[in-house]
Amino acid sequence: MLYVIRHGQVDTNIKNEINGWNEEKLNKKGIQQAINAGKKLKCIKIDAIFCSPLLRTKQTYEFLNINGVPVFYDDRIKERNSNSMVYTKIKTLDKNLWYDKTKYIVYKDSEGFKSIINRTESILNEIKNNYKDKNVLIVTHGDICKSIYLYFNPSVQDISKFRQDNCEIKNYTF
């Protein structure tokens, strides 16, 4: 089984701004969300954890308090590299462009959703091949959660409508 959790809340989430590879700490609510999610995960035997190396995901992992499980930090599950779009108000985005499944670059220097799909597929195929009959947890970001959902639901046309809240846990079967 694959379990996917989005990082706990950060202030940029409250402001409805675009995040990216910026290093932002969890706020108080985000810390509590991670602690609560950790309680839910206590009853599941996790065999391996893949975590984005960004600060907010590493903090989320730490507050989940899952001990004795191998953790792999992997750039493929980092948030979208938004470059000059970091801290831009989300409502100003053209969602059709931002989530266009054919674009590698959008808004002159931001990573396109096609690039995110490619790196997400890469790690999911690796997990599928190397962790058969194991429980794997991914600690990641919003756009990676969308891409994971799309991997398991390829017929979805408008991925912008899928939402995974901070510290919400979704599970998938390969």
Catalytic annotation, residues:
7, 79
Radius of gyration of the chain (CA): 15
pLDDT at 55 over 90: yes
- The sign of the torsion formed by the CA atoms of 120, 125, 128, 130 equals negative
User: Which residue do the tokens 């002159």 mark?
Assistant: 108
Cβ pair 35, 9 in contact under 8 A? no
CATH classification of 2-172 is 3.40.50.1240, yes or no?
Answer: yes
Q: Which of 64, 76, 70 is nearest to 134 (CA)?
A: 70
Q: What is the pLDDT of residues 19-30, one digit of tens each?
A: 999 999 999 999
Per-residue pLDDT band for 2 (boundaries 50, 70, 90) equals: very high
SS3 3: strand
> What SS3 class is residue 163?
coil
Q: Does the pLDDT of residue 67 top 90, yes or no?
A: no
